[in-house]
Copies of this chain bind each other. A is one copy, B any other.
């Protein structure tokens, strides 16, 4: 980067002198090596969907345009599971939790007294699964709480570095959607502030969001456990308890955006009924706004599922999105590539 003024002319002065979020070296390099005519979304097919996204971003960022939105109000919120990365056949965080809790239970006699955890520890998944959602939530809580953040991070990071998705035989971080990562970057280059607003836990997502999406920990809003502030000698720690403080799904999403971010998004992107209220709320922003749904239609390259799926059920939101003219992204038609390794 020897001629920074050339870079500035390329991407416009505004990015320097307004609110700007983390513009990483990668993004800077991208903005630098491309020109006005280059394609900011190369992994998207040339469909109407892509054009709608580009038109929206162009309109809200063009001063003088009737749809112009000041940079500081360009808040964009993205669901994570099924929107930024794959969520089938099971949420990846749940896969992690079951594996981590298996190991914890194996060496914790008190936990082995519970039949469902004893089954989990011995690999008897059939018995464990009979405990249903309750058992899964219990495993998630055990794997996320009663330990320092360093211990949690170490465990989750080690898992992400080694575990592999059975069908794709890839590490989970490789299963982020390339077109979505491009979209996040395109928005940031246009001075959007990009947030994850996920039903998954903030703690888990923060272990990889910076690397996977260039989204820093402070822009991750997820499900939260209650915390305790502990002191041991002169060491102070925040340690989480196995009690949910905030469930970031359905109505929890707009409520958390209001409480933690304090601004209504102008762009929201989800893929399931759990995102419906975030999309509804965004669609009532008095500023120009865009609500988008990723519709999983590609059983060859990824998965095809919607109204009847147990994971990532998309029924009410699809009906409402179609009715209201939200952008329904058809993975099969609109994604040129799905994963970056393709």
Contacts and interface: CB of A to CB of B under 8 A. Distances in A.
A255 interface: yes
A174 to B, nearest CB: 24
Contact of A258 (B238, B261, B281): B238
A25 B20 contact: no
A204 to B, nearest CB: 11
Nearest to A286: B150
Interface in A8-25: 8, 13, 16-25
A297 interface: no
Contacts of A193: 218
A319 to B, nearest CB: 15
B236 A280 contact: yes
Contacts of A19: 21-24, 216
A23 B28 contact: no
Contact of A259 (B1, B202, B262): B202
Nearest to A253: B229
A55 B153 CA distance: 32
Contacts of A224: 259
Contacts of A237: 281
Please tell me the size bucket of the interface on A: 35 or more
A54 interface: no
Interface string A242-286: 000100000100110011111100000000000001001101100
A5 interface: yes
Interface string A55-94: 0000000000000000010010000000000000000000
A245 B229 contact: no
A132 interface: no
A259 B245 CA distance: 10
Interface of A: 1, 4-5, 8, 13, 16-25, 28, 72, 75, 149, 193, 202-203, 206, 210, 216-218, 220, 224, 227-229, 231, 234-238, 245, 251, 254-255, 258-263, 277, 280-281, 283-284
16 contacts: A4-B13, A4-B16, A5-B8, A18-B22, A19-B23, A19-B216, A20-B23, A203-B262, A217-B262, A220-B262, A227-B255, A229-B254, A229-B255, A231-B280, A236-B280, A238-B254
